[in-house]
Structure 1
Amino acid sequence: MENLTIIEHPVLQHKLTLLRNKQTKSCEFRRLLNEISGLLAYESTRDLELQAADIETPLEKMQGREVKEPPIIVSIMRAGNGMLDGLLTMLPFAGAGHIGIYRDRFIQNTVEYYFRLPKTSAGKQVLLADPLLATGDTAIACIDRLKQYGVSQITMLCVLVSEQGINKLYHFHPDVRVIALSKERDLNADGHLLPGVGDAGDRLYKTKDA
């Protein structure tokens, strides 16, 4: 899968191990995901185009370089919001949007309840943030909507992905880049990644007892 990148950097793998640990408290989980997201931002923006910028240092005038077209960061709510601050800290010039989509088990389909992007998003590169890519259904629905909006290259930033989810995503959207820290062994009967980190949203916002 040429569009899938698994990052094996020792610092990120160390942080991932702490993130996986069930003893890691919610406040630490948030901090770790924030730090991981900033490093994912660095990895995912290697191909941003630069343009010349005339500036003056304390000693002389010079021509530097700056990002020509800032990307749009889009969070898949709610767990994606745990990545947003880390991404925006690293890319403060980027715009941000939110998509609220979940998979309803009763109707066996995705349901959209919120969609808001900056008005300048058409034609822009998008960094789509969601810590976990499990079944792939939510990611596919979000990418469908982004393409309807007319964005350009979409890069999905995840912590963990499943083989099943990646295969399904690339069946519908082979052009989307995915950057993650691990491809997990399997999914359980409830669609949770194994070994995984548990429910990222619950661990971020302490909405379920340990």
Structure 2
Amino acid sequence: MNKNVKVIDHPLLKHKLGYLRDKNTYSHDFREIVKEVSKVLIYEAMRDWKHLESIAIETPIAKAQADRIVQPPVVVSIMRAGNGMLDAALSMIPFASTGFIGIYRDKFIHNTVEYYFKMPQDIKGKEVLLCDPLIATADTIIAAIDRLKNYGVGKIKVISILASQSGLEKVQHHHPDVEVYTINIENEMNDMGYLVPGLGDAGDRLFQTK
């Protein structure tokens, strides 16, 4: 596996993934588990953060130095499903700014369609945490990365709960500098472009739209 693909292997994540896969998991529980898993992925994506400054504080006992994150990342959601990860990301990094990309893969034209794009004005040069629960064909995630790079962003890290092997290979082919954080790699996709065994359509299960 490419060194830029980080599979976070943990018994608690495997336990929670089982509930995400289960078609009988209610939408409310599905949303909460997506948030819990996303927090862990964000935590791992921030593990090597280098932009820290030391400031003077005072504890109840004595004066001390404390580290503060500076130059925080921009958390970008690929709508709709990425919005299910957004609260989790911002609860971990409340001082981060946020961007939104509305994009989908049109099965009739066999291409991606962008319908919304909104970023912070100061995004140039900033590191981006790009949230999308599933990477299947990888067409939408690649199109989103293309757009972000056109804006001159810094390093991009993709936060995804599940990813296909072929999708990851495609991402690394087009964007070898991008890191992907996930909890499991699926080896199959069906004719509809869904991961197998997967967890279905994440957006529908998050927002009860089916």
Asked if these proteins are the same fold (TM beyond 0.5), I'd say yes
> Do residues 82 (structure 1) and 84 (structure 2) align?
yes
How far is the alpha carbon of 1:42 from its aligned partner?
Answer: 0.6
1:123-143 residue CA offsets vs partner (Å, 9 max, x unmatched): 111000000000000000000
Looking at structure 1, the residues matched to 44 and 23 of structure 2 have their Cα atoms a distance apart, in angstroms, of 27
Q: Which residue of 2 aligns with 1:26?
A: 27
Looking at structure 2, the residues matched to 31 and 143 of structure 1 have their Cα atoms a distance apart, in angstroms, of 27
Give the letter for the 1:113 counterpart.
Y
The runs of 5 or more residues in structure 1 that have no matched partner are: none
How far is the alpha carbon of 1:56 from its aligned partner?
Answer: 1.7
1:155-199 residue CA offsets vs partner (Å, 9 max, x unmatched): 000010001111111111010000101100200000000000000
How far is the alpha carbon of 1:51 from its aligned partner?
Answer: 1.2
Looking at structure 2, the residues matched to 168 and 43 of structure 1 have their Cα atoms a distance apart, in angstroms, of 23
> Do residues 71 (structure 1) and 70 (structure 2) align?
no
Q: How big is the alpha-carbon RMSD for the aligned residues of Structure 1 and Structure 2?
A: 0.8
Q: After the TM superposition, which parts of structure 1 deviate over 3 Å for at least 4 consecutive aligned residues?
A: none
How far is the alpha carbon of 1:12 from its aligned partner?
Answer: 1.1
Asked if structure 2 preserves the Cα contact closer than 8 Å seen for 1:185 and 1:195, the reply is: no
Asked if structure 2 preserves the Cα contact closer than 8 Å seen for 1:162 and 1:184, the reply is: yes
The runs of 5 or more residues in structure 2 that have no matched partner are: none
> Do residues 43 (structure 1) and 47 (structure 2) align?
no
* Between 136-145 and 109-118, the greater mean CA deviation after superposition: 109-118
1:98-130 residue CA offsets vs partner (Å, 9 max, x unmatched): 100111122221111101111121111100000
Partner-residue secondary structure (3-state), 2:87: helix
Partner-residue secondary structure (3-state), 2:137: coil
Matching residue within 125, 134, 157 for 1:132: 134
Looking at structure 2, the residues matched to 133 and 53 of structure 1 have their Cα atoms a distance apart, in angstroms, of 40
TM-score w.r.t. length of structure 1:
0.97
Looking at structure 1, the residues matched to 117 and 191 of structure 2 have their Cα atoms a distance apart, in angstroms, of 29
Give the letter for the 1:94 counterpart.
A
How far is the alpha carbon of 1:62 from its aligned partner?
Answer: 1.6
1:17-74 residue CA offsets vs partner (Å, 9 max, x unmatched): 1111111010000000011111111110011121111212223222111112211100
Q: Which residue of 1 aligns with 2:154?
A: 152
Across the two proteins, how many residue pairs are aligned to each other?
A: 208
Asked if structure 2 preserves the Cα contact closer than 8 Å seen for 1:126 and 1:153, the reply is: yes
TM-score w.r.t. length of structure 2:
0.97
How far is the alpha carbon of 1:150 from its aligned partner?
Answer: 0.8
Asked if structure 2 preserves the Cα contact closer than 8 Å seen for 1:48 and 1:69, the reply is: no
Q: Which residue of 1 aligns with 2:117?
A: 115
